[in-house]
Structure 1
């Protein structure tokens, strides 16, 4: 929960779509890990 707040996201916010390429894939991988770690 704290990690989501740190990124300015609520539980219902979609993942950011402004990243592209490897950077975007890495971000999505990290966020997916955070979301499933709760």
Structure 2
């Protein structure tokens, strides 16, 4: 049943890459002087 492990592994790798790209989009570097209104005082 090596094919089951292979397809499961590629599925997890694909999901991880998509989540990683989404995380990087949320944590982009902001230009200097940009305000960050989401942070509490």
Structure with the larger RCO, 1 or 2 (CA within 8 Å, 6+ apart): 1
Please indicate the TM-score interval, normalised by the length of the shorter structure.
0.3 to 0.5
Who wins on radius of gyration, i.e. which is larger? 2
TM-score, normalised on structure 1? 0.46
TM-score, normalised on structure 2? 0.43
